[in-house]
Chains A and B, each alone.
Chain A
Amino acid sequence: MRNLISKALSLSIGTKLTLTFIALIAITSIPLSFVVVQFSEKIYYENIVKSLKENIISEELQLRYYIINKDYWGLFKFVKGLSEKSSVYEASVVDSNGMVLAHSKPQKYPIGSPYRVKGDIVYPIRGLSSDLGSVILVLDNESIWAEFRPVKLFLMFSALPFTGISLFLGLFISYRIRARLSRIKGSIERINRGQLDELSRVEFLEKDELQEFSDFLFNTISTLRNYYENIDYAQRFYMNLLNTINEIVFVVDEEDKILYTNGRVKQLGYETNDLIGISIERIVETREAGINFKGQKYREVMVKGRNGHTPALMGVVSYDTWKIVTLIDISDRKAMEEKLKRMELLSTLGEMSANFAHELKNAMLPLRLLSSVENFSREDVEVIRNSLSRMSRLVNMFLNFAKPVNVEKTKFKLSLIVDEILFLVSSKVRDKDVELVKEVEDAELITSRDLIEIILINLLSNAVDAVGERGKVGVRAYVEEEVLNIEVWDTGEGISPEDMDRIFEPFYTTKDSGSGLGLAVVMKNVYMLGGNLQVSSQRGRGTTFKVKIPIKGVQDEKHSSD
């Protein structure tokens, strides 16, 4: 049943209309025909009865006369006449005792025979005081209905032309609707194929809902076409705009797949279409956590192009489900930076040269002192050996300064290295009678010995320079929570606030004989070791440098500079 209903519902409009017409006709005309036929039959029958009665009534006077005069022949002619009517099966006149006076079938019912048939019409002929007799008619129902049959058939089938007409109407209307719908559909299909320019208003003869619907569609599609044209224009506009800027722009989805890229990818040797759909991580190399690293908005990355790697600055802006990734080619800037670095290195080299010479002079000092000694004691030999070793290291360091330093990690004792550096500055200390305060933890470290030495020697030599006669210089070194802390303090004049901003600049110095590179080198080395440096100074009271170097970080990472 449900199946049937759904089937019926999915019939074409035309079929539905036609079926509805037929059903309507059937619902209205069949009972109507039935009622009309029934009613007509009744009326027809009643009319026959009525007309027969009228026949009798019109002859009533004559009949009375016939009966009274026993005019059988007159009565017979009357009943014979009645029986000639097709609706009458037999007619008779009987007397008040029910005896036949005349019967239309005289051979069956001769005069004087009893007549017991209950007629369809019994019409009494009255005398003054009593009934003289009666006219009895038996109707020929078969003949009556046979006569009525054409009328009945006509009535029954009179609905047929209407059914036919409504069928035709239904088919016609449905055909029209289908034709009109297919015109609308055709115009939409043309639009669907992209022939937007062919959009034209579909006009029907019938100004009805379908016309409204068609107009509505036309208006809607026209509006949409305008929208589409605007969007198309905007898209081209922004596309062109995006292609004119220097950045490579990507739009990526949640899975970092590229949804869009501008024409700048040609710089990398790609075509736009090559990249759509692939993950952006296949062309962008990041140092950490892919492109989704939350730490910085802009990061330096390497971009894999067709023709090699290019350094770039990557910016990521995240939206709900997509991100805009911009890449700026910074290879030029990198080259510039490299140049700058080299220049710095060169200047550092100059300072280093001076310093190196100075250090070398310091290292050679024990040797010069010992040169006047005839026989070397064991200690003297040890001193000579240390001096030579130090000189050798200095030379090596100097040689290595201008080229990328591979910071070699070695295992050494903290106190030993402090003692070595103190020894290097001991001559200065003695010259100025400086009181040296040393607090060094006897810890073992694994880090770059050379860098630590350079930090220490520069800070200590600056401290000794800073104090006057009988001043105080202190060094404190300890390891705390995997951080090497080195504090060098003095009781000198302190640093003026105006100088404080510039002390790490290369070639800036307040000393007559200084190169201006000392603190710059310290800063560089601290940076290379991933640590930090604090300076605090009070005018007239002295200055303290605090260096913190993460040992773990140094141990874990092999830090190399370019």
Chain B
Amino acid sequence: MILLALLLAFSLVFSQETYRFGFTAVVAKEDVKSVEKFLSYLSKKTGYRFVPVFTKSYDEMSYLLSRGMVDFAYICGAPYVEDKDYAGFELLAVPLYRGKPLYYSYVITRREKNYKSILDLRGKPYAFSDPKSNSGSVVPTYILVRNGYRPEDFFKPIVYTYSHSESILAVYYGFVEGASVDSIVFDQVVKKSPEIASQIKVIEAYGPFPITPMVVRSQLDDDVKYALRKVLLSMSRDPEGRKILSEFAIEGFTVVDDSFYNPIRNMIAVIKNSTLAYGYEKSDK
């Protein structure tokens, strides 16, 4: 479902080639301004015009990519692993988080709570972001399954917020006792909403895991892929680019192989092979 489609900057020439850049729960959707800055920076550097497309779930984004309705997308490692073949996209570049293309799955609670582990939250409402999210769903499911629990039974209930930042809010409001979130998004929130972050603590960090990648539709013209990758890789060397990157709590981009995401493939495989994770299987369909 298309939540929002914005036409950007009329300063750009109309005859420019236009590409749609998809954003998912990997970035805080509230942070439209950073997205705009990012895209206008790309436009300036490449000469192409980029239009943002936001979806609620990774499934929607994969679908849009498969239909050619989105050309680029900033998605999560898990949907990359699961959907790249059927939807026909490939890695464009991966962000550098704390100098590496790796990130963590944080277990967060409110500051005053005494939970020490995700396992202490049994029978409590718990927030997952997207069912397909690596840090917000795959990782906690994997942990529970490895501990012999079925997540749907373990939490009462699992609350899907379809957004890491909203998972943080759900914890903040006390609607859920805990949540598994993307460490990059969490760092963004810490940076931009310290009053919220101050009420929240990270009780566990799982990982590191292969970071959320930027993907491109495989059928897109190589020149475009190349041009964009070039801009992304060189972004950290440019003060303006660095400033924009910092808003996303990343330091730059690099390029990795598909095999880089094997750890996630392994976790998903473990989950799928377990009899405990019917919920996950369900969402897999």
Which residues in A have some Cβ–Cβ distance to B below 8 Å? Answer: 70-73, 76, 80, 102, 106-107, 110-112
- Does B156 make an interface contact (CB < 8 A)? yes
B173–A106 touching, CB < 8 Å: yes
- B174 engages A72 (CB within 8 Å): no
Interface size, chain B (Cβ < 8 Å):
15
Residues of B within 8 A of A107 (CB): 174
Q: Of B156, B162, B170, which is within 8 A of A76 by CB?
A: B170
| Complex contact B125–A71 (CB within 8 A) | no
**C-alpha spacing A274/B184, complex, angstroms:** 135
B162 partner residues in chain A, CB cutoff 8 A: 73
Q: Mark out the residues of chain B between 116 and 170 whose CB falls within 8 Å of any chain A CB in the assembled complex.
A: 124-125, 127, 156-157, 159-162, 166, 170
B156 touches which one: A70, A71, A106, A111 (CB < 8 A)?
A: A111
- Distance (Å) between the CB of A106 and the closest chain B CB? 4
Minimum distance in angstroms from B199 CB to a CB of chain A: 13
Judge whether A106 and B160 touch: CB under 8 Å: no
How many angstroms from the CA of A111 to the CA of B125 in the assembled complex? 7
A112–B157 contact, CB under 8 A? yes
CA of A358 to CA of B245, assembled, Å: 193
- Complex alpha-carbon distance, A47 and B166, angstroms: 33
Question: Mostly helix, strand, loop or mixed at chain A's interface?
Answer: loop
Q: Which of A70, A72, A73, A80 has most B Cβ within 10 Å?
A: A73
Q: Is the CB of B157 within 8 A of A70?
A: yes
Contact indicator A72/B125 (Cβ below 8 Å): yes
* Contact call B173/A73, Cβ cutoff below 8 A: no
Partner of B175 from the list A70, A71, A72, A112 (CB cut-off 8 Å) is A72
B156 and A112: CB pair below 8 A?
yes
B144 CB → nearest A CB, Å: 18
Cβ-closest chain A residue relative to B177 = A110
Closest residue of chain B to A76 (Cβ to Cβ) is: B175
* Least CB separation from B175: chain A residue: A106
Q: How far is the CB of A479 from chain B (nearest CB, A)?
A: 158
Contacts of A112 in B (CB 8 A): 125, 156-157
Are A72 and B159 CB-contacts (below 8 A) given A102-B175, A106-B174, A110-B125? yes
Chain B's nearest CB lies how many Å from the CB of A64?
A: 17
A293 CB, nearest partner CB in chain B, Å: 131
Residues on A with beta carbons closer than 8 Å to the beta carbon of B176? 106
Which 4 A-B residue pairings sit nearest by Cβ, starting from the closest?
A106-B175, A72-B159, A107-B174, A73-B161
Mostly, the B contact residues are loop
What residues on A are CB-neighbors of B125 within 8 Å?
A: 72, 106, 110-112
| CA of A110 to CA of B161, assembled, Å | 16
A residues less than 8 Å from B161 (CB atoms):
73
In-complex Cβ contact of B160 among A71, A80, A111 (8 A): A71
Cβ distance B112 to chain A, nearest Cβ, rounded Å: 10
Cβ–Cβ < 8 Å partners of A72 in chain B: 125, 157, 159, 175
Q: A71: which B residues are within 8 A, CB to CB?
A: 160
Using CB atoms, name the residue of chain B closest to A102: B175
In the complex, which residue of chain A has the Cβ closest to the Cβ of B129?
A73
CB proximity of B258 to chain A, nearest CB, Å: 33
- Tell me, rounded to whole Å, the shortest Cβ–Cβ distance linking B244 to chain A: 29
Asked if B175 and A73 sit within 8 Å, CB to CB, the answer is yes
B175 / chain A contacts, CB cutoff of 8 Å: 72-73, 76, 80, 102, 106, 111
Given A80-B173, A110-B125: A73 touches B157 (CB 8 Å cut-off) = no
Minimum Cβ distance to chain A for residue B32 (Å): 18
Enumerate 23 A-B pairs (CB-CB under 8 Å) in ascending A order. Answer: A70-B157, A71-B160, A72-B125, A73-B159, A73-B166, A73-B170, A76-B159, A76-B170, A76-B173, A76-B175, A80-B175, A102-B175, A106-B173, A106-B176, A110-B124, A110-B125, A111-B156, A111-B157, A111-B159, A111-B175, A112-B125, A112-B156, A112-B157
Residues of A within 8 A of B174 (CB): 106-107
Instruction: Tell me the complex Cα distance, A106–B159, Å.
Output: 13
User: Closest chain A residue to B170 by CB distance?
Assistant: A73
Chain A residue contacts of B157, Cβ below 8 A: 70, 72, 111-112
Query: Is B127 touching A73 in the complex (CB atoms < 8 A)?
Result: yes
**A73 adjacent to B156 (CB under 8 Å):** no
Whole-angstrom distance between the alpha carbons of A76 and B127 in the complex? 12
A71 CA / B127 CA spacing, docked (Å): 11
| Residues in chain A near residue B170, CB distance under 8 A | 73, 76
With the chains together, A80 CA to B156 CA distance in Å?
A: 20
Whose C-beta in chain B lies nearest to the C-beta of A110? B125
Provide the residues of chain B in CB contact with A80, threshold 8 Å.
173, 175
Q: How far is B126's CA from A110's CA once the two chains are assembled, in angstroms?
A: 11
Instruction: With both chains docked as a complex, state the minimum distance between the C-beta of A108 and any C-beta of chain B, in angstroms.
Output: 9
Chain A's nearest CB lies how many Å from the CB of B141? Answer: 17
Q: How far is the CB of A81 from chain B (nearest CB, A)?
A: 12
- A76 CA / B160 CA spacing, docked (Å): 12
Query: Could you tell me the distance between the alpha carbons of A106 and B176 in the complex, rounded to whole angstroms?
Result: 8
A110: chain B residues at CB < 8 Å are 124-125
Q: In this complex, what residue of A is CB-closest to B166?
A: A73
A80 to B161 Cα, complex, angstroms:
15
Find the B residue at minimum CB distance from A80. Answer: B173
